[in-house]
Amino acid sequence: MIKHIVFWKLKSEAEGATAAENAKKLNFLFKSLKEKVPELLSIESGKNFNPTDAAWDYALYTAFHTREDLDRYQVHPEHLKVGEFLRKVVSDRSVVDYEIE
């Protein structure tokens, strides 16, 4: 089982919307991937509510059977569309991929 976790810092304003509005759009976009990307076993995403400076603004958690499935997800046209929006509204990103044996 492969886990793919990503954290982002959102720009305070981007694409004519606030960070909170863009987080709502991201929720919709990520949720829609479940129906469009067959390799995607599970997906969760959401805006952070923890006020500490150490916290990221937005998180994504996904699961796949294999590394190859994760690779296919990364280049899937629907995932790439979400990535186009992300590049416009985020200022920083952190990622962890790990395997459960």
The answer to whether the CB of 39 falls within 8 A of the CB of 49 is no
pLDDT at site 16: 97
Q: What is the pLDDT of residue 101?
A: 84
Tell which CATH classification among 3.40.50.1970, 3.30.70.100, 1.10.150.20, 3.30.1950.10 matches the domain 2-99. 3.30.70.100
42-53 confidence digits (pLDDT tens): 999 999 999 999
pLDDT along the chain (101 residues), means of 10: 98 97 97 96 97 96 98 97 97 97 84
Is 32 exposed, middle or buried (CB count within 10 Å of its CB: 0-12, 13-18, 19+)?
middle
